A and B are shown apart, each in its own frame.
Chain A
Amino acid sequence: MAADNTAIIQMHHVDKHYGELHVLQDINLDVQKGEVVVLIGPSGSGKSTLCRTINRLETIDSGEILFEGKPLPEEGKELAAYRAEIGMVFQSFNLFAHKSILDNVTLGPREVLGTPKAEAEMEAMELLARVGVAEQAHKVPAQLSGGQQQRVAIARSLAMHPKAMLFDEPTSALDPEMINEVLEVMVELAQEGMTMVVVTHEMSFARRVSNRVVFMADGQIMEEGTPDEFFDHPKTERAKDFLDSIRGH
């Protein structure tokens, strides 16, 4: 758990305010290569914000975030190039509404990496097949179910060959019967050794797949540990209350 130089993502003393609200308080977090870290906590705990600071969709007030030992670029080409190395999957999928499924996946490789069209499309089709939506390649996002859209969003990220992936509540907007099809893709990714930071309420996923669970409340990291430690022997009252509340239903 101690910071060492093999950590791919390092956050040191990160603070962030929204006006009066102190949404991130002295966050220290390291993610090792190949590690799957799950962020959980009640809504408003700052877990999504934390996830989004890692590819600078949110800026921070103080502290530092390092990726592969280098501080995040602040703007311009360097920032874009950095983001191309990090995949991001959103709660609301955010597929490009005017592009076909195939074009959604090839857009990044073609425009950012300069991959030739034929090659990009071939790889995109492989990825779409892998997440199980190859038949939908020529439809537009609105024609797909939420679960299918989210799997396309994952394929879109994978097409960039990311070094790490961020998942910001990827199943929260889905109907219950679609949650598993998305989680299965994520489990597969984890097993292949992808570095992942996952904000989720899916405790089964956290228990099965993650190497580490980080529990947040009120903008602070309250505790962290292996899934077994955390779920079976939570240390803080806040974590106990939280676990009770989600098991209670």
Chain B
Amino acid sequence: MSAHATSMRDALYEAPGPKTRRRTAIGTVVSLVLLAVGIFFAIRQFYITDQLNERYWSFLLEWTTWRFLLEGLWGTIQVAIVSGIISMLLGLLLMLGRIGHNKVLSVICRVLTDLFRSLPSLLLIYFFFLVIPKYGIRMPSFWMLTIPISLAASGVLAEVFRAGVNAVPKGQTEAAMSIGLTHGKIVRKIILPQALRIVIPSLVSQLVVVVKDTTVAYVVSFPDLMQNARVLISNYDALVSMYFVVAIIYILINYAINQLSIYLAHRSGNKIVTRASENPL
């Protein structure tokens, strides 16, 4: 066996002959020129609209700015972590209820899973923000944000867990049955530990969805990164620079989470299940 080029996108192409090499070289030069032109015009647009003026950027050199942003980021992280934990527990319960022997419970869990998966987290947030208070229930803004985000994520996570359980080889159950374990014990001692290990990378990648969901915290006036950025914008009158900086911070956080998930998947040899079904809100 020969040592192949690994990725499919390389495998699509032959080792180039002279004509192909020339064509590729021309394509490379042309695309580089187009790219440079594009970047030039983008920067030029910032310049001619005066958005490169240092008064829009200098506040980013001050520690107080970053302290305030970091406070917001801490809020984001708190919501994300608490939502992550709640949704994981809830997702696990939904999945266990669904695969369990109790028919009624199984149907209920299935309906709830499908329901949570098919509602926008924003709608759930409105439910906790607009609807619940009308019934006289008062709730801190942290929970008005965290609970709906957890609910929305729990549906997806239930499916992730189920994919993990399905990924455990059938022989494991059969072997456990042959040594006389009960259904409950098989699930607890044999299936779950393996399934959990399989889905770890997927759980991590779902954290991206949770982080994205937190960005509507301003709806319930919870001080997260985005909300604090809005405050800074009104203080410094530097909207464009602030929104771009915030976007970059979010992108870097989510990129890091995704890379971590890929790393974990690579290390354990597991695929990231249901990554495609994440809600890109």
Least distance between B42 CB and chain A CB atoms (Å): 37
Q: Is A23 an interface residue (CB 8 A)?
A: yes
Residues B15 and A59 in contact, CB atoms below 8 Å apart: yes
Residues A75 and B19 in contact, CB atoms below 8 Å apart: yes
Residues B19 and A76 in contact, CB atoms below 8 Å apart: yes
Q: Is B2 an interface residue (CB 8 A)?
A: yes
Q: Is A52 an interface residue (CB 8 A)?
A: yes
Residues B2 and A75 in contact, CB atoms below 8 Å apart: no
CA distance A75 to B3 in the complex (A): 21
Minimum CB distance partner of B16 in chain A: A75
CA distance A76 to B23 in the complex (A): 12
Residues A75 and B14 in contact, CB atoms below 8 Å apart: yes
Interface residues in A25-69 by Cβ distance below 8 A to B read 43, 48-49, 52, 56, 58-59
Residues B2 and A76 in contact, CB atoms below 8 Å apart: no
Minimum CB distance partner of B21 in chain A: A75
Contacts of A59 on B, CB cut-off 8 Å?
15
Interface size on B, residues (CB 8 A): 10
CA distance A182 to B16 in the complex (A): 34
Least distance between B14 CB and chain A CB atoms (Å): 7
Contact among B2, B14, B17 with A23 in the assembled complex (CB-CB below 8 Å): B2
Residues A18 and B2 in contact, CB atoms below 8 Å apart: yes
Contact among A48, A49, A52, A75 with B20 in the assembled complex (CB-CB below 8 Å): A75
Least distance between A183 CB and chain B CB atoms (Å): 21
Q: Is A244 an interface residue (CB 8 A)?
A: no
Contacts of B17 on A, CB cut-off 8 Å?
73-76, 79
Q: What 1/0 flags go to B4-32 for Cβ under 8 Å of A?
A: 00000000001111111000000000000
Residues A49 and B16 in contact, CB atoms below 8 Å apart: no
Contacts of B18 on A, CB cut-off 8 Å?
74-75
Q: What 1/0 flags go to A79-107 for Cβ under 8 Å of B?
A: 10000000000010000000000000000
Least distance between B4 CB and chain A CB atoms (Å): 9
Least distance between B192 CB and chain A CB atoms (Å): 31
Interface centre among B3, B14, B18, B19, by most chain A C-beta atoms within 10 angstroms, is: B14
Residues B15 and A48 in contact, CB atoms below 8 Å apart: no
Least distance between A105 CB and chain B CB atoms (Å): 24
Contact A49 to B14, CB < 8 A, known contacts A75-B19, A75-B20: no
Q: What 1/0 flags go to A13-25 for Cβ under 8 Å of B?
A: 0000010010100
Contacts of B16 on A, CB cut-off 8 Å?
75
CA distance A81 to B221 in the complex (A): 68
Contacts of B179 on A, CB cut-off 8 Å?
none
Contacts of A21 on B, CB cut-off 8 Å?
3
Minimum CB distance partner of A23 in chain B: B2
Residues of chain B at the chain A interface (Cβ within 8 Å): 1-3, 14-20
Can you report 14 A-B residue pairs in the complex whose CB atoms are below 8 A from each other?
Answer: A18-B2, A18-B3, A48-B1, A48-B2, A49-B2, A56-B15, A59-B15, A74-B17, A74-B19, A75-B14, A75-B20, A76-B17, A79-B14, A79-B17
9 new A-B contacts, CB < 8 A, other than A56-B14, A58-B2, are A18-B2, A43-B1, A48-B1, A58-B15, A59-B15, A74-B19, A75-B20, A76-B17, A79-B17
Task: List 8 A-B pairs, minimum CB-CB distance, nearest first.
Answer: A75-B17, A74-B17, A59-B15, A49-B2, A18-B3, A75-B20, A75-B19, A48-B1
